[in-house]
Chain A
């Protein structure tokens, strides 16, 4: 079984585990059990009726913007642990919204390459909307709002917003300009995903930005055996994230999907959690 089949299976299992409470869609209720104090490693809105865990980006903003705390050791620790252990393998193998984007990308259409400048937008989103605004802009009670969730997150609009609005008439009556803005971002994101592989992950996702920072040190990483590599360029050509695994095997954009491992004719590229021989290419 190649990496792509294994990955799709694990993505579907992760999607199912993250959204196990399907019956909640019927009444528009949320799961309220204790598991929701734990964060999902991938992006999955906790206001989705089926969600069984908290969204790490939502949780980070909630604690940082709360009256009691201005820094979340708990969520930062979880993100640090996921990052060091898995890096962006979380995006490639476990993220529910990543799977949605990949399925949308299968819609037949001309596929485009993303300009490099767009890749840096997600770092601005992380710093401004996730780290600064929830702490800096507070109400009269000293509470900040989750700015990324409020103004940008298309996962929240798709998984939480639409399903809850369908179930609750009272919420439908409250729809206004903000929801229109979020719907526009959702539509743009989904259209972007048709033409660009994982458009949201690469341009806007603050979680991808965080995990990308750990790719150089994460336990799961790519290694390229320079003795076996024949320089055919197939790995670079097959990479949806537009990474060259031979030159930068642990680039921040690599989601460890393993497509390069599958396509390598000499077995030079390897996805591993162990540091192997000395003739592997350094980062």
Chain B
């Protein structure tokens, strides 16, 4: 893959990442993550 393709691809990916993060937070996904992470996940420890 040439550098003339890589650089714009990196920038597009970074902008997409930022847009995804902002959109995800705005619709409350971070709270779902927080709620899962602060409680003992029985599946994660092999009991669920």
**A interface residues (Cβ-Cβ under 8 A, vs B):** 30-32, 34, 36-37, 39, 45-47, 51, 53-55, 58-59, 62-63, 66, 68-69, 72-78, 80-81, 83-85, 145-146, 149-150, 153, 156-157, 160-161, 164-165, 171, 174-176, 178-179, 181-183, 214, 216-219, 275, 282-283
Chain B residues contacting A47 (CB-CB under 8 Å) are 40-41, 44-45
Interface size class of B (residues with CB under 8 A): 35 or more
Complex CA gap A113/B22 in Å reads 43
Q: Is the CB of A59 within 8 A of B37?
A: yes
Establish whether residues A77 and B43, one from each chain, have CB atoms under 8 Å apart when the complex forms. Answer: no
Q: What number of residue pairs across chains A and B have CB atoms under 8 A from each other?
A: 161
Q: For the complex, what is the distance from the CA of A36 to the CA of B37, rounded to whole Å?
A: 6
Pick the contact of B44 from A31, A161, A176, A219 — CB < 8 Å? A161
A156 (CB) vs chain B CBs: closest residue: B44
Contact call A146/B7, Cβ cutoff below 8 A: no
Cβ B38 vs Cβ A68 within 8 A: no
Within 8 A of A (CB), among B1-39: 1-3, 6-7, 9-10, 13-14, 16-25, 27-34, 36-39
Closest to A179 in B: B46
Q: How far is the CA of A36 from the CA of B6 in the complex (A)?
A: 33
Q: Are B43 and A146 in contact (CB under 8 A)?
A: yes
Inter-chain contacts of B22 with A (CB < 8 A): 77
Listed A/B pairs (6) with beta-carbon separation below 8 Å = A37-B31, A59-B33, A74-B20, A74-B21, A80-B13, A83-B13
Closest 4 CB pairs of A and B: A74-B24, A77-B20, A73-B24, A161-B45
Q: Roughly how many angstroms separate A14 CA and B30 CA in the complex, as a whole number? A: 22
